[in-house]
């Protein structure tokens, strides 16, 4: 029996790629670097803002100092415009509603920085998730399982009663590192093959299919 479902955020609950790309390109332009087409960004994201910005920088410019400068501009823009184009994936609001009706606890484990993670969940899914954790200072990002340990400590749910749902290899690795059952979603940012190669226990093509795994 599933008592808790832990969701990744970007590419799983919300399609955030347009806003992430716009904010990154804005920061790159401000710092005098070339920008990228939208199609490049699904393969830049997944490991937190610092890695996104590092990947977006040209070869030879990927220094900690340049990433830090880019991050300041990115956060300024994203904090103001992070919901301009972002929307829940089709079927996600309905899935969340059914899970709540069934009494399943819900949590978010994201590599997006904590403030943005909390803001997006508060906007699109207010008063819905038991615990919402993004990337925080001093806590290693996914696939390190530290964020999962924090969720388990807050909820008291046993590992065997949890499903972890995400759209990337990083998510599947996170679930494996935490000893959780993993569900890969194919509507997100990364291809099905990446989910398979990283050990997804289940694959779903539509949100409502998650209900068959509870």
Catalytic residues: 8
Query: First CA to last CA across the chain, in angstroms?
Result: 6
Residue indicated by tokens 């599933």: 2
> Would you call 173 helix, strand, or coil by DSSP?
helix
Query: Other CB atoms closer than 10 Å to residue 141's CB: what's the count?
Result: 22
Pairing between β-strand 105-113 and β-strand 87-88 as defined by DSSP bridges: unpaired
73 token code pair: 């501009």
Residue indicated by tokens 């969701």: 7
Angle formed at CA 130 by CA 156 and CA 92, multiple of 5 degrees? 125
């Amino acid at each position: 029996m599933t008592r808790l479902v832990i969701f990744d955020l970007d590419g799983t609950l919300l399609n955030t790629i347009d806003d992430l790309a716009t904010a990154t390109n804005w920061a790159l332009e401000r710092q005098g670097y070339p920008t990228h087409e939208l199609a490049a960004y699904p393969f830049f994201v997944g490991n937190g803002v610092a890695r996104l910005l590092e990947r977006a920088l040209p070869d030879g410019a990927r220094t900690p100092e340049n990433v830090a400068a880019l991050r300041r501009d990115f956060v300024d823009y994203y904090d103001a415009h992070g919901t301009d184009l972002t929307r829940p994936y089709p079927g996600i609001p309905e899935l969340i509603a059914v899970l709540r009706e069934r009494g399943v606890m819900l949590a978010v484990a994201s590599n997006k920085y904590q403030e943005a993670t909390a803001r997006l969940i508060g906007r699109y899914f207010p008063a819905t998730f038991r615990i919402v954790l993004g990337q925080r200072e001093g806590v290693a990002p996914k696939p390190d399982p530290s964020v999962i340990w924090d969720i388990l400590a807050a909820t008291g749910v046993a590992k065997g009663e949890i499903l972890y749902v995400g759209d990337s290899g990083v998510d599947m690795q996170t679930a494996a590192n935490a000893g959780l059952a993993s569900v890969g979603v194919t509507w997100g940012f990364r291809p099905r093959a990446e989910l398979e190669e990283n050990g997804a226990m289940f694959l779903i093509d539509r949100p409502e299919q998650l209900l068959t795994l509870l």
